[in-house]
Structure 1
Amino acid sequence: MMSFNLFTVSASRASHLIATPLLGRSVRLTVRQFSVTINRASHIGSKPIDIPPEVTLSFSYPVRPRTSTSAIPYGYPQISVKGKLGKLDVDVLPFVTFTFESPTTNRILGADLQPTPLTSPGKFVAEVPTAVPQDVISGPGLLKVNVADSAAKKQRGIWGLTRALMANAVHGVTEAFTSSLELVGVGYRASLEDIPPHPNQPANSQPKRQRLNLRVGYSHPVLINLPDSDTFLSCEVPSPNRILLKGIDKQELGLLGAGIRKWRPPEPYNGKGIYLNNEIIKRKEVKKK
Structure 2
Amino acid sequence: MFSTARARGLERAVASPISISLPSFLLPAFPVVPSRSFSASANRPSQIGRAPLSIPPEVSFTILQPDAPKNGRALAQSTVEIKGPLGKLSMTVPPFVKLEHDEASRKAYVTVEDKEAKKQREMWGTVRAYLQNHILGVSEGHTAILRLVGVGYRATVENTATTVAPEFEGQQFVVLKVGYSHPIELPVPKGVKVTIPQPTRILLEGPDKHVVLQFAAHIRRWRVPEPYKGKGIFVNGETIKLKAKKIK
Q: Output the CA distance in 2 between the equivalents of 1:213 and 1:266.
A: 19
Partner of 2:16: none
The 3-state SS of whatever aligns with 1:38 is coil
State the identity %: 40
Q: Output the CA distance in 1 between the equivalents of 2:27 and 2:108.
A: 67
Amino acid at match of 2:34: V
TM normalised by structure 1 equals: 0.71
Match of 2:153 among 188, 191, 194: 188
TM normalised by structure 2 equals: 0.82
- Structure 2 CA distance for partners of 1:178 and 1:26, relative to 1, 3 Å: same
- Whether the 8 Å CA contact 1:4–1:24 is kept in 2: the answer is no
Partner of 1:213: 175
Amino acid at match of 1:86: G
Match of 2:233 among 274, 284, 288: 274
- Tell me by how many angstroms 1:23 deviates: 8.5
Q: CA RMSD in A?
A: 2.7
Q: Output the CA distance in 1 between the equivalents of 2:215 and 2:174.
A: 12
Q: Output the CA distance in 1 between the equivalents of 2:28 and 2:8.
A: 18
- Tell me by how many angstroms 1:210 deviates: 1.5
Partner of 1:100: 101
- Structure 2 CA distance for partners of 1:24 and 1:269, relative to 1, 3 Å: same
Amino acid at match of 2:173: R
Higher strand fraction (1 or 2):
1
Runs (4 or more) in structure 1 with deviation over 3 Å come to 21-26
Amino acid at match of 1:51: I
Long gaps (5+) in structure 1: 10-20, 105-139, 198-205
- Structure 2 CA distance for partners of 1:150 and 1:22, relative to 1, 3 Å: farther
Matches within 5 A, 1:55-134: 55-61=59-65, 72-73=73-74, 75-101=76-102, 104=104
Matches within 5 A, 1:147-158: 147-158=112-123
- Whether the 8 Å CA contact 1:79–1:90 is kept in 2: the answer is yes
- Structure 2 CA distance for partners of 1:188 and 1:30, relative to 1, 3 Å: same
Aligned length: 225
| Cα offsets for 1:179-216 (capped at 9, x unmatched) | 0101000100001111169xxxxxxxx83332111100
Long gaps (5+) in structure 2: 10-23, 163-167
Partner of 1:17: none
Partner of 1:170: 135
Matches within 5 A, 1:190-205: 190-195=155-160
- Tell me by how many angstroms 1:163 deviates: 0.4
